[in-house]
Structure 1
Amino acid sequence: MELPERLMSICSLTDAEKTVAAFIVKNSDTVCSMPIQDLARRTHASTTTVLRLCKKIGFHGFKELKARLALDYRSRLVRKSDVNINLPFDEFDSEIEIASKIAGLTNDTVASCLQRFDKEAIRTAVSRLSSASSIVAIGVSDSFIRLIDFQNKMLKINVYVKITYQQPDQAYLCTHAHEEDVALLVSYSGRTAEILNEIRILRNGGVPIVAITSDPLSPLGLEADTLIELPSDENTQIANYSLSSQVAIEYALNVIFSCIYAARYRESKSHLLESRKLYLHQ
């Protein structure tokens, strides 16, 4: 969920805070470069009210809110289609109209991911995963399916990713992980109950966490040692299916796989080709 939507969804705001929130939603592009004193003056509120609003939505201060607002704004600018992320098609669309809308949604999601990705975070994630004694991958439901695909790709370049296909047993993977291992946790919301349990176990064991999530202020985002942030365009409460979020997760995992492949390019390519050769000629 993008910041303007989050602002409008909070029920515990005072009247003064609601006025500030409404102004931010209506003028998000200008608020990005506005000093806190100007925002307070234009909304007839105090700077204390603005700061209190920031804290209610999880930010430490106004600068942090502006940075997130600017990031959401830039993500919207790179979208080239007018497809509704949450409801990309309806019952009256033809097959080709649906195909066109899904293409637009996919392209917009990837472009938004690329806009949001932090190169240092990706570099650190790749370095941690490449040098780990073992990689433990944790996800739930659709995110877990994306991790299976990631495991399959990594296996072909001789990197084994530990996954348990009984999702309740993921706690055992975390329990037996060590400090020299790395845990890759994937959750679009960053608040899935199973993920929160796994975080607690991993933290107790001192296991580094690489996280992929759309909410850096979620429990997963806050606990991650390395965070790869996804666009927060999709509202999972109203989306008719988690199409955009799963495109984003798959893209992020493909980027990680490709970077690990590239970091050991000749070895990865050689292993992949040799494995194919042995398989095809048996």
Structure 2
Amino acid sequence: MVYSKLQSKDGLSSVQGHIADYVLAHTDRVLTISIHELAASTNTSIATVTRFCKKLGVDGYRDFQISLLRSLNVHMMVTEEQIPLNENSNELELVDSIGSLQKRAITSTQLLLTTELLSGTIDAINKAENLYGVGISDSFISLHDFQNKLLKVSKFVRIAFLQPEQTFLCAQATPRDVAFVISYGGKSAEVVNACKILKKRGAIIIALTSDEKSPVGRLATRILPLPPIDEEDELIRITFSYAAISYAINLIYAGLYRNNYAKNQDYIVKVKDEYLNK
């Protein structure tokens, strides 16, 4: 996210770091002023501000402002105080807390997954000769859900249930294939190893992760960013990440379904009538 990149200043020059400091200190103003005004306010040039924007991964100043607003909203949502849960929490507090947490996860993910990211992902999946899925633990459950949904649009995602099998599976990938990787933190050793194999094989790696600078993020061809949450409570972290991942998967599935809506609808009805509704 742009906001987190401004905070870390990772890879920014001293001049670009100075611009980042100004943006963080005057975010509301930067969202409304022109590139000329930002250059004047930071004692730099328009060319310097343009290079600063590109260093942050956006095409231009207007895109920078849009991305800044999106990432700022996400930052505010994920850092919003969470209703605490403990052994003394009653059912009403549980309902309110989990409901609020899932809403925040979905809204934050909605802000991060731009139309360009979604359309590019859907296009890559449609063009792939083979689809592979990589994930472990809770992410593997989400991966299985992804596989199940794509079966309904006549696409099969190859997944392996054991880590050694996953290694052999990834070793079969080619540059004509797409691998869909789910890793919220992006640091799981098994997933990183699988991504290294996929990278070596030349496959397109689409990573669903909250950390673009994680090992998985750095190995990915395309990143679908998830909102990060700095939370030690495992219940809150798992609930938040699962809701974000599920929403992203549903968006991809809906996009694929929509592209051939009538065909997919007929296919599902036909399969149910011929093989299930008997």
TM-score (structure 2 length as normaliser): 0.75
Is 1:107 the counterpart of 2:106? The answer is no
Shift of 1:2: 9.8
2:46 corresponding residue in structure 1: none
Contact 1:236/1:242 (8 A) holds in 2: no
User: Which has the larger displacement, 156-165 or 255-264?
Assistant: 156-165
Contact 2:5/2:56 (8 A) holds in 1: no
Q: 1:262 to 1:103 in 2, by over 3 A?
A: same
Task: Give the one of 225, 230, 233 matched to 1:235.
Answer: 230
Task: Give the one of 269, 272, 278 matched to 1:276.
Answer: 272
1:158 corresponding residue in structure 2: 154
Give, as a single letter, the amino acid of the residue that structure 2 aligns with 1:93.
S
Shift of 1:235: 1.7
- What 5-or-longer segments of structure 1 have no aligned partner? 11-16, 42-53
Task: Give the one of 220, 225, 228 matched to 1:224.
Answer: 220
Shift of 1:202: 0.8
Residues 191-202 of structure 1: matches in 2 within 5 Å? 191-202=187-198
Q: 1:115 to 1:3 in 2, by over 3 A?
A: closer
**Aligned-residue RMSD, C-alpha:** 3.8
Is 1:144 the counterpart of 2:143? The answer is no
For residues 120 and 155 of structure 1, the distance between their equivalents in structure 2, rounded to whole angstroms, comes to 24
Shift of 1:278: 2.1
Residues 23-42 of structure 1: matches in 2 within 5 Å? 29=28, 35=38
Is 1:74 the counterpart of 2:70? The answer is no
For residues 5 and 89 of structure 2, the distance between their equivalents in structure 1, rounded to whole angstroms, comes to 27
Q: 1:206 to 1:2 in 2, by over 3 A?
A: closer
Map Cα deviations across residues 122-164 of structure 1 (whole Å, 9 max, x no partner).
Answer: 1111011112111101012111110111111111332111111
For residues 183 and 82 of structure 1, the distance between their equivalents in structure 2, rounded to whole angstroms, comes to 32
Q: Aligned with 1:228: secondary structure?
A: strand
For residues 140 and 2 of structure 1, the distance between their equivalents in structure 2, rounded to whole angstroms, comes to 28
Q: Aligned with 1:159: secondary structure?
A: coil
For residues 4 and 164 of structure 1, the distance between their equivalents in structure 2, rounded to whole angstroms, comes to 34
Give, as a single letter, the amino acid of the residue that structure 1 aligns with 2:267.
H
User: Which has the larger displacement, 90-99 or 234-243?
Assistant: 234-243
- What 5-or-longer segments of structure 2 have no aligned partner? 11-16, 44-51
1:131 corresponding residue in structure 2: 127
Contact 2:196/2:219 (8 A) holds in 1: no
Shift of 1:213: 1.2
Q: Aligned with 1:144: secondary structure?
A: helix
Aligned positions, number: 257
Shift of 1:254: 0.8
Shift of 1:281: 3.5
Shift of 1:262: 0.9
Q: Aligned with 2:175: secondary structure?
A: coil
TM-score (structure 1 length as normaliser): 0.74
Aligned sequence identity (%): 27
Map Cα deviations across residues 164-183 of structure 1 (whole Å, 9 max, x no partner).
Answer: 11134211111011111110
Contact 2:147/2:156 (8 A) holds in 1: yes
Q: 1:5 to 1:124 in 2, by over 3 A?
A: closer
Shift of 1:35: 4.9
2:48 corresponding residue in structure 1: none
1:177 corresponding residue in structure 2: 173
Task: Give the one of 261, 264, 274 matched to 1:265.
Answer: 261
